[in-house]
Amino acid sequence: MSALGVSLKGVRKSFGAKRVLDGVDIEVAPNSSLVILGGSGSGKSVTIKCILGLIQPDEGVIEVGGQDVTRLSRRDRLALMDRMGMLFQQGALFDSLPVWENVCFKLLAQKRITRAAARDRAAEVLAQVGLAASVGDLSPSELSGGMQKRVALARAVAARPDLIFFDEPTTGLDPIMGAVIDGLIVDCVQRLGATAISITHDMASARRIGQQAAMIHHGKIVWTGAAAELGNTGNAMVDQFARGEREGPIQMELRK
């Protein structure tokens, strides 16, 4: 298994008249971890959906592992998708399937595992996100919001992808559980050799899981740097954001 690098150059995307991404440039080295920061509605989720090929950008080049994903044939795109994993912001669990089938969905789809073995594997991965094996038999609608998030996280990592996206992995979790999940993400990068791109609003979490950090504002990347420096980067905008201060270059504005 080899990690995948990601590179975005001049990516633009509008929905109708609303321009969400206005020339986004991002470089992520293989086997590294990037956190993306930015205000609510600034286009973070749209950015990673573009990388996954779920949203087609209007302009720009997106390369994953050196391949331009906007130009891939259907077959190559599927092959690439096999190596990626995604935690959706809202979980996006399949409510017609029990938790264990959700967790092992990709392994089952790729026929890498039998249904009998999938239950055991699901229990293993659920344990990593702090859930008992008995949760596997419940339906996603029977879980609390934080439990759903953790099941979704288990599903994203269960097939051991080479490139993983986490859209707000710790939102809605208690602080201790949040730290456990952060540990899991770090593990994916350090032990399993994956590349991770995460979105988070939690600065402590960003410092723990990120090596690099990038801040998106008004559709552009306005800063990239080491995640450990968040809060005292010297960039007024980033520091204001990281410390959560009302006064500063970023003014609250009504979202269009």
Partner 1 sequence: MVGAMLAGIGRPVLAACESVGRLALFAAEAVSHMVRPPFHARQFWRHFVEVAYFSLPVVALTALFTGMVLALQSYTGFARFNAQSAVASVVVLSVVRELGPVLAGLMVAGRIGAAMAAELGTMRVTDQIDALTTLSTDPMKYLVAPRILATTLALPLLVVVADILGVMGGYVIGTMKLGFVSAAYLDSTWDVLEAMDVISGLIKAAVFGFVIGLMGCWYGFHSKGGAQGVGLATTSAVVVASILILMLDYVVTEAFFSP
* Residue 88 touching partner 1 (CB under 8 A): yes
Of 167, 193, 176, 175, residue with least CA distance to 36:
167
Q: How many CB atoms lie within 10 A of CB 247?
A: 7
Q: Minimal CB distance to Mg ion: which residue?
A: 45
- Contacts of residue 80, Cβ cutoff 8 Å, sequence gap at least 6: 64, 65, 67, 69, 72
The region that residue 200 occupies, defined by phi over 0 for left and psi between -120 and 50 for alpha, beta otherwise, is beta
Binding mask 68-87 for partner 1 (x = CB under 8 A): ----------x--xx-xxx-
* Residue 100 touching partner 1 (CB under 8 A): no
Is residue 94 a contact partner of residue 140, using CB atoms and an 8 Å limit? yes
We find the least distance from the C-beta atom of residue 176 to ligand ATP, in angstroms, to be 23
* Residue 159 touching ligand ATP (CB under 6 A): no
How far apart (Å, rounded) are the C-alpha atoms in residues 159 and 138?
21
* Residue 44 touching ligand ATP (CB under 6 A): yes
**What part of residues 85-124 is at the interface with ligand ATP (CB under 6 A)?**
89
* Residue 15 touching ligand ATP (CB under 6 A): yes
DSSP assignment of 154-218: HHHHHT--SEEEEESTTTTS-HHHHHHHHHHHHHHHHTT--EEEEE-S-HHHHHHH-SEEEEEET
45 vs 195, beta carbon nearer Mg ion: 45
Q: How many CB atoms lie within 10 A of CB 175?
A: 11
Q: Which stretch binds Mg ion (CB under 5 A): 41-49, 101-109, 123-131, 170-178?
A: 41-49
- Contacts of residue 41, Cβ cutoff 8 Å, sequence gap at least 6: 255
* Residue 106 touching partner 1 (CB under 8 A): yes
**What part of residues 71-130 is at the interface with Mg ion (CB under 5 A)?**
89
* Residue 40 touching ligand ATP (CB under 6 A): yes
We find the least distance from the C-beta atom of residue 6 to Mg ion, in angstroms, to be 18
Q: How many CB atoms lie within 10 A of CB 114?
A: 11
Among 32, 45, 102, 233, binds Mg ion (CB under 5 A): 45
* Residue 198 touching ligand ATP (CB under 6 A): no
The one-letter code for the residue type at 59 is E
Binding site for partner 1 (CB under 8 A): 49, 52, 54, 78, 81-82, 84-86, 88-90, 92-94, 96, 105-106, 109-110, 155, 159
Binding site for ligand ATP (CB under 6 A): 15, 20, 38, 40-46, 89
